[in-house]
Amino acid sequence: MKPRYLTKSRFKLAIECPTKLFYTGKKSYRDLKQEDSFLQALADGGFQIGEFAKYLYPTGILIQSKDNTEAEATTLSYLEKNEDVILFEPAIRFNDLFIRVDVLIKRQSSFELIEVKAKSYNSADPQIEGVRTPILSGMLSYIQDVAFQKFVLSQRFPDKAIASYLMMPDKAVNATIDGLNQLFKVKRAGRSIEVLASPDAGKLVDQNSALLAKVNVDQYVDVVMRDGIQFPGGHSSIATLVAGWATSYRDDIKITPVIHSSCAKCEFRSHPGDGYKNGYLECMTEGTRLSEKEIEDGTVLDIWNFKGKNKLIDQGIFKLSQVTEDDLKVKNDKDGLSNSQRQWLQCNGIPKEDDKGGFYFDQNIFENQHQKWKYPLHMIDFETSTTALPFFNGMRPYESVAFQFSHHIIEKDGSVKHVGQFIYAEPGVFPNLEFVRALKKQLENDGGTIFRWAAHENTILNHIAAQIQQRSSVDADADELLSFIADVTDGGIRSMVDLNEIAKRTYFHPETKGRTSIKKVLPAVLRTSHFLKNKYQKPIYGADPSIPNSIQSLNLKEFTWWQLEDGAVADPYGKLKTIVDDMLGEEGEGILDAEELEIAEGGAAAMAFGRLQFEDLTDQDRKRIKNALLRYCELDTLAMVMIVEAWKDWAGIQ
């Protein structure tokens, strides 16, 4: 039997919730985070940054063995035989604590411990220290990670001085050359991963070494060592915690669960019929004494956008039915539902006088909004990514990349068309300017109202405007593009209307659990709208134009969106399961089930873009992924169409 060590990943897991140590690594429990770990690393540039860092130390030696015992022996051999040596992924063990350090530099009597992260950093505005706390919450987990490693290293080598560092992409530094984005590609076979470096990697990394900031974090590590670590259920020193957690993990002892607000995001969830145990339900039934049905009916963990969950839990309040108006501090709002009113509808149900047939809809607010709209109505949705390594000379890490959009219109007579789309995901090609040119061409032919869902599209266009301004001398149409962006973003003469804000103010369905994500709102609307049932239960979407009421689609043929499955209206986004598998491959299987991880909120597309940019793919795979992306994005703008159609019908608007 292999030794069971507390590693740095398990240490981080235990800080989130010590009980998770019992579930992690067991095949009988589903782990939603592990299912997408490769793809997330590909999407956020983790593999590329890891390799980039190694090229900063040309004499470094990689400890290749995946076997813990062999890797530890090899590491010790190098450290004992060399006064000065640089090691990548050396294995250090102290009792039942085990770490693989990203970069370890030994210089006679001292060590430099370097943890490489794809997290963005800004040397011009470091933002590590908080105003009210010694360490900002966004940086705390990274500092705790380094503190754990420094603790293990110091225990194993008590006579060595240790300096600790985080190495991160620096958003304050510009690339000095083109081509950094394509230095490192990933080749995978199942779970085996190989990073393929460009022949020019050494030279190009050397010329752009400042892109990775090496930040000394000793003072913050000292804070963690001095003040200890807060975790669900307590607070203690790092030495005490790791000793207890290591023993529990080694002996497979389940630490008694403490229910807290972050349980809502627990990754150890199974779904009916998938063959896995459900760690989340096990903890909840043990920690709340509620039955599985009571938990499934709703607990305070489900309350949307509510910061007082822990306070209620501390009072022994778990069921939604136990929550009062005073608990939520409910406030009325003349402009529609307030956040607290949405929360109260979720806990108390829809008042009989406001029930429209299982849902709430504010007809007056919607009518007032609709009066401001001008036809044709334009529905747009973007798919975007951020990459750690810049595409071009002058760009910085993590600049926004807009690689795809979809565009539906609703005419005054109610006819619907999928009129446009754009995708550009060629490796190493920065698509933003072509993206905004194509979008401008789509939207400049009339003065119809443009719609988005949430703030993303507005934010991305403003980012592109800043990029255009930085290179305005290069692009002949720069002024035209900037004028277009100014017109359609917030404050412009044709600024986009945010349907998400309208949903927050006017619409509530219990199935959404208070959320207004389009992927929550559409299924609920579809199940309660007679108009949508009558229209979309026929295969008119993508049908031949000669067929009455057919809807033009650029990617689908004769598709039926309103269907019954097991006696209930099927979730249209459930139909994306095969599409996501096409985009992400075998590693993406089941990824749409990870609701709390928000993979289905656009993350799948960003991960697919990562595959197209950084994975070694065949032409056939590239074509398959692009086609899947087109279908994936098309549904989001069609969803906007369907929701507006239902709202108009409920408001009696022809």
Please, which pLDDT band fits residue 231 given cuts at 50, 70 and 90? very high
Contact by Cβ (8 Å): 420, 408: no
Amino acid 198 reads S
**Which residues contact residue 38 at a Cβ distance below 8 angstroms, ignoring those fewer than 6 apart?**
188, 191, 193, 587
On the CB side of 506, CA atoms within 13 Å amount to 23
Checking if the pLDDT of 376 tops 70, the result is yes
Amino acid 119 reads K
Checking if the pLDDT of 497 tops 90, the result is yes
**Percent residues over pLDDT 70 in the chain:** 94
pLDDT of residue 595: 32
Checking if the pLDDT of 583 tops 80, the result is no
C-alpha to C-alpha distance for 22 and 249, rounded to whole angstroms: 7
Q: Which residue did the predictor score with more confidence, 628 or 543?
A: 543
**H helical segments located in 444-517:** 456-470, 478-488, 499-506
- Residue 81, SS3? helix
- Residue 539, SS3? coil
Tokens 């063990």 locate to 93
Checking if the pLDDT of 91 tops 50, the result is yes
Pairing mode, if any, of strands 161-169 and 212-216?
Answer: antiparallel
Checking if the pLDDT of 599 tops 50, the result is no
Beta bridge pairs of residue 197: 184
Weakest-pLDDT range from 75-79, 108-112, 193-197, 403-407: 193-197
Checking if the pLDDT of 23 tops 90, the result is yes
Mean pLDDT for all residues in the chain: 91
The domain segmentation of the chain, as residue ranges, is 43-216, 261-359, 368-498, 510-548+555-650
C-alpha to C-alpha distance for 638 and 319, rounded to whole angstroms: 36
Checking if the pLDDT of 169 tops 50, the result is yes
Over residues 22-32, mean pLDDT: 93
Please, which pLDDT band fits residue 473 given cuts at 50, 70 and 90? low
How far are the Cα atoms of 242, 606, 614 from residue 220, in angstroms, in the given order?
A: 19, 33, 34
Please, which pLDDT band fits residue 85 given cuts at 50, 70 and 90? very high
pTM for this model (two decimals): 0.90
**E strand segments, 489-567:** 497-498, 507-508, 564-565
Tokens 């565009």 locate to 407
Please, which pLDDT band fits residue 597 given cuts at 50, 70 and 90? very low
Over residues 193-207, mean pLDDT: 90
Contact by Cβ (8 Å): 388, 183: no
Checking if the pLDDT of 300 tops 60, the result is yes
Pairing mode, if any, of strands 192-197 and 450-452?
Answer: unpaired
C-alpha to C-alpha distance for 11 and 17, rounded to whole angstroms: 10
C-alpha to C-alpha distance for 204 and 206, rounded to whole angstroms: 5
Over residues 109-130, mean pLDDT: 94
C-alpha to C-alpha distance for 381 and 260, rounded to whole angstroms: 35
Contact by Cβ (8 Å): 60, 103: yes
Give the DSSP letter of residue 639.
H
For 404, list phi and psi in degrees, rounded to 5. Answer: -160, 145
- Residue 453, SS3? coil
How far are the Cα atoms of 401, 422, 452, 497, 638 from residue 405, in angstroms, in the given order?
A: 12, 5, 11, 17, 12
Task: Give the chain's length.
Answer: 654
For the record, the structure tokens of 122 come out as 């800004």
Please, which pLDDT band fits residue 194 given cuts at 50, 70 and 90? confident
